[in-house]
Structure 1
Amino acid sequence: MHERKASTLSYADVWERWKEHSDLEAKKQLIEQYLHIVDYVSGRLAVGLPKNVSKDDLFSNGVMGLIDAVEKFDYKRGLQFETYASWRVRGAILDGLRQGDWVPRSVREKAKKIEEGYQHLEQQYLRSVTDAEMSEYLNISEKEFQTMLQEVAVMTLCSLEDPIREEESETRLTLLVDEKAKNPDYKVREFFLKDSLTKGIEKLTEKERTVVSLLYYEDLSLSEIAEVMSLSPSRISQLHSKAILRLRGTLEKQRDLLMCND
């Protein structure tokens, strides 16, 4: 870690050559220097994805994100490039997955049914609903419900980073991140959405909140979370799916209210 930090500092002259003099060799050096970010991010995202998703494709999309980060990064602001690049790389990989339409229509439909079920029942009972109540609502057995959660797990991986509205770049995950530069037009909308998301997280079960926290705040992989919580990876995947579908239902309801008031 110390060597990497020292190396980053020593690359200040390379950043200057690239940004101030458009030195393509310097740009190439920077890309090669930070390829480890693509390795790291693509490796973590690969956990839980279907086997038909190529790791080479993840890496290739990640490289495009890294190149974009190198081109847009303002080295004079004194910010950490690694943090900035990680978001760009992650975003590029997720964009590639979405464009590849890697989730079957049947899985999307199941996820929508579960999301709507949580939204309807939690509005009715004003509390977190049990698996038994969800199973009854969906008219399936609890075992079949667990299977459904496992099937939609691959889809919920990207859920917090999907746009809140198709025509906007703002995502659900940005509401969890403290950004200094805010667009004034979104102040009121962000306040209500963030408040809704906070309340949604509070309604999750303790285990679901722990999974969300470890995955999105501590940046652990699903397999690492399984070790921490002494549960099987499949169980962690189910908890993650339930948490995300609940949060999506909460945010969808809030979005509809905001649209009605527009």
Structure 2
Amino acid sequence: MIEPKTPHLSNIEMWRKWKEDRDIEAKKQLIEQYLPLVEYVTNRMAIGLPKNVSKDDLASNGVMGLIDAVEKFDYRRGLQFETYASWRIRGAMIDGLRQGDWVPRSIREKAKKIEDAYQQLEHKYLRSVSDAEMSTYLNVSEKDFVQMLQDIAVTTVCSLEDPIREEESETRLSLLVDEKAKNPDHKAHEFYMKETLVKGIERLTEKERIVISLFYYEELSLSEIAEVMSLSPSRISQLHSKAILRLRGALAKHKNQLMEH
């Protein structure tokens, strides 16, 4: 991850001056210090998005997310601001994309169809299902199924950064990295969500697991992953899409079970 600019004051002192003294100059310094995060997230988010999506627009929304993060961050909890801010920056970018309605309805419907198919088949067989099984279930050829994955690749780039529920700010990915408990009910819900994600990841193929690990944990770009794995960027994009849709299906099943109880 890109290192923030060196602050004029110590980090803790800057946060204290902003949060406790409401020193506007300290706030400006914090925003300036962490601006490289916006560029970093912009470059990652731009991968796989349509050419009509401007990086400048992404960055503008990202700056608003950074400002929001500086406003809301509690430095006394001992959490890493970079992680918190990255989620806020991504969230602001995703909100901007949604408002722009950059994905046609037909593509969204196609993605939902594949997600539902993964959910139904993998719940039935309790294992990772093959492209052939998916093609049969969807009544399309394997070639057409691969093309469908390519068509919907742009809808899966931000998937693990999406809120678990529309009204919540917590993301699916945050469940895997944030160990802070909010309350007993929340902790129990979080535990079962983590279990669902872990089981979902276990059912991914080896290549899909590698792609998810390199993209979300090692923070490589899809093109860098293609180089590491000696595969084409389009193939990496397909593996990423399949992995995300499998995980979405598992999480959707979990959410439905929660609503039934």
1:123 and 2:128 correspond? no
Q: How does 1:102-251 map to 2 (within 5 A)?
A: 102-251=102-251
Partners of 2:131 and 2:142 within 8 A in 1: yes
Which amino acid counterpart does residue 232 of structure 1 have in structure 2? S
CA deviations over 1:85-107 (Å, ceiling 9, x no partner):
22221222122222322211001
Alignment of 1:60 with 2:68, yes or no, is no
Cα distance in 1 for partners of 2:6, 2:38 equals: 20
Say what the alpha-carbon RMSD is for the aligned residues: 2.3
Amino acid at match of 1:53: V
Residue 198 (structure 1) shift: 1.1
More helix by share: 1
Tell me which residue corresponds to 2:88.
88
* Length-normalised TM-score, structure 1: 0.90
- Structure 1 pair 111–10 and aligned structure 2 pair: CA distance change class (3 A): same
Instruction: Measure, in 1, the Cα distance between the counterparts of 2:82 and 2:204.
Output: 32
- Return 5+ residue gaps in structure 1 as ranges: none
Deviation of the 1:68 alpha carbon: 1.2
Please report how far the alpha carbon of residue 164 of structure 1 lies from its aligned counterpart in structure 2 after TM superposition: 2.4
- Higher mean C-alpha deviation, range 56-65 or range 22-31: 22-31
Q: Which residue of 1 aligns with 2:47?
A: 47
1:259 is matched with: 259
Task: Kindly state the Cα deviation for residue 6 of structure 1 after the two structures are TM-superposed.
Answer: 5.5
Q: Is the 8 A contact 2:5 2:33 kept in 1?
A: no
8 Å CA contact 2:4, 2:34 repeated in 1 = no
Aligned CA distance change for structure 1 residues 10 and 58 (closer, same or farther; 3 Å): same
TM-score (structure 2 length as normaliser)? 0.90
- In structure 2, the gaps of 5 or more residues are none
Identity of aligned residues (%): 76
Distance in 1 between residues matched to 2:140 and 2:232, nearest whole Å: 24
